[in-house]
C-alpha cells in the first residue's frame, strides 16, 4: 500500500491514522494479548518516506509526487491519495495509476474539494455516475464528532458561501468564468458628473 501526497508531510497525515490504529489493536500471541504495533517494523523519519512492515510482510509506505520518477517500478494492491484534489495530473496518469494494473489494485482518494477541475473532481464525477467501479462518499465537517458545532457556525458566518461549502460542506465548487465575485452590496452605482468632479 502506498499513501501518496503532494508532499511527504501531507502523506504522513494519512499514514498516522494507520499507525494510530495499530497502536490500539491487539492480537493473541501465545495466549497473551499483544499490541500489534510491537510486532511490526515501523520507520517514521522526520523527512522522507515512512513505512510499516507487518509480520505478514504487508507494507504501508508514504510517497510524494514531488519527484514523480521515484514512483516507477512498484506493483500495488492499494493506492491511497492524500489531499487528492492537489494531486498532479501528470504524476497520477504517468506514474501512479499503472502501479495498480498488474494486481488489479484499489484506489482511495481523500480530500477537501479544490474547484471542479482536476483528477479528484473526475473521481467524484465517476463515483456519482452509474459506473460500478467507482463510489463517491461526501460528508460535512459535522460528521467529525470532535469538531464543534459552534466553530462550524462561526465559519459559516465569516466565509463566503462557496468557500464554506467547499471547505466545510464537502462540495466541489465551480469557479469557472469568475474574475471576482460580487454581491448586491458591493455593486458600484454610476453617479452624476458633478459629484465625480468633487471627488
Quick: pLDDT tens for 20-43. Answer: 988 998 988 889 999 989 999 999
pTM for the structure as a whole:
0.79
- The C-alpha cell at 55 is 509480520
> What share of the chain has pLDDT > 70, as a percent?
85
Contact in structure between 2 and 75 (CB atoms under 8 Å) = no
Residue 190's pLDDT band, with cuts at 50, 70 and 90, is low
- Which residues have a Cβ under 8 Å from the Cβ of 2 and sit 6 or more positions away? 61, 62, 63, 74, 76, 78, 79, 80, 99
Q: Is the pLDDT reported for residue 182 higher than 60?
A: no
Q: Which of 11, 167, 30 is nearest to 1 (CA)?
A: 11
Mean pLDDT over each residue of the chain, to the nearest integer: 87
Assign 59 to helix, strand or coil: strand
Contact in structure between 19 and 11 (CB atoms under 8 Å) = no
Amino acid at each position: 500500500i502506498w499513501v501518496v501526497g503532494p508532499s511527504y508531510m501531507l502523506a504522513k497525515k494519512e499514514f498516522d491514522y494507520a499507525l494510530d490504529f495499530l497502536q490500539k489493536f491487539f492480537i493473541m500471541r501465545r495466549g497473551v494479548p499483544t499490541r500489534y504495533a510491537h510486532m511490526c517494523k515501523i520507520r517514521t523519519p522526520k523527512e522522507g518516506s515512512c513505512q510499516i512492515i507487518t509480520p505478514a510482510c504487508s507494507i504501508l509506505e508514504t510517497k510524494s509526487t514531488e519527484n514523480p520518477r521515484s514512483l516507477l517500478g512498484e506493483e500495488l494492491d492499494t493506492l491511497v491519495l492524500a489531499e487528492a484534489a492537489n494531486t498532479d495530473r501528470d504524476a497520477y496518469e504517468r506514474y501512479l495509476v499503472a502501479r495498480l494494473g498488474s494486481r488489479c489494485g484499489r484506489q482511495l482518494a481523500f480530500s477537501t474539494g479544490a474547484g471542479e477541475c482536476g483528477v479528484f473532481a473526475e473521481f467524484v464525477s465517476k463515483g456519482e455516475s452509474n459506473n460500478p467501479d467507482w463510489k463517491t462518499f461526501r460528508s460535512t465537517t459535522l460528521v467529525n464528532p470532535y469538531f464543534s458545532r459552534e466553530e462550524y457556525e462561526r465559519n459559516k458566518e465569516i466565509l463566503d458561501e462557496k468557500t464554506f461549502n467547499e471547505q466545510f460542506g464537502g462540495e466541489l465548487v465551480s469557479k469557472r468564468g469568475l474574475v471576482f465575485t460580487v454581491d448586491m452590496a458591493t455593486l458600484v452605482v454610476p453617479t452624476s458628473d458633478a459629484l465625480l468632479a468633487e471627488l
